[in-house]
Amino acid sequence: MVTAWWSPQLNALLGSLVVAAGAWLAWDSLPVWGVFLIGGVVAGFLIWQGRTIGLVWAWATLLLGLESLAWPIVTMVQFRSITTEPTDEQLGTMLSAVLMGLVSAVFWITFSYGFFKRARQPSTVSSVDATDNHPPTS
């Protein structure tokens, strides 16, 4: 399989869009320039660290997991800054943020672990390629 030299860079840009969209969803009060700033910083980081497509997505999913982990904390801080005693509706929102944040953080961090583990393994030749290159012996 032939990959172009720009393929990891393109995937880094796509990964930065995914992480920026996750930040926008996690912090609904994030201004547009903040989303672009996060996207730019993440794109630079992914281009710097992502030598392969697998590493780009490993870092992108790790960043998504960290965003998901920070989401409940940000929600609690926002409610705490509004009032000292949260209402029942705010408590329900915080509970939802904690449960969904932890579940999604575990998912994305586990997914990222799999990507990092796969990136460390040396690439092997598939059995189809091996049989095409070598004729059977008699």
Q: Which two tokens stand for residue 37?
A: 């700033």
- Spatial neighbors of 83 by CB under 8 A, at least 6 apart, are 90
Domain count within the chain: 1
Answer yes or no: is 130 within a domain: no
Model's pTM, two decimal places? 0.79
User: Minimal CA–CA distance to 92: which of 105, 106, 67, 75?
Assistant: 75
131: pLDDT strictly greater than 60: no
Answer yes or no: is 89 within a domain: yes
Answer yes or no: is 117 within a domain: yes
Q: Which residue has the higher pLDDT, 25 or 98?
A: 98
Query: Distance between CA 10 and CA 27 in Å, rounded?
Result: 26
What mean pLDDT comes out for the span 73-87? 85
CB 73 within 8 A of CB 31: no
Provide the residue count of the chain.
138
Cα separation of the two ends of the chain = 30
pLDDT given for residue 119 in this prediction:
87
CA torsion sign for 84, 87, 93, 97 is positive
Full residue range of the structural domain in which residue 101 is found: 7-121
pLDDT given for residue 59 in this prediction:
95
Answer yes or no: is 136 within a domain: no
CB 75 within 8 A of CB 97: yes
Answer yes or no: is 128 within a domain: no
Query: Distance between CA 16 and CA 64 in Å, rounded?
Result: 10
Answer yes or no: is 129 within a domain: no
Answer yes or no: is 78 within a domain: yes
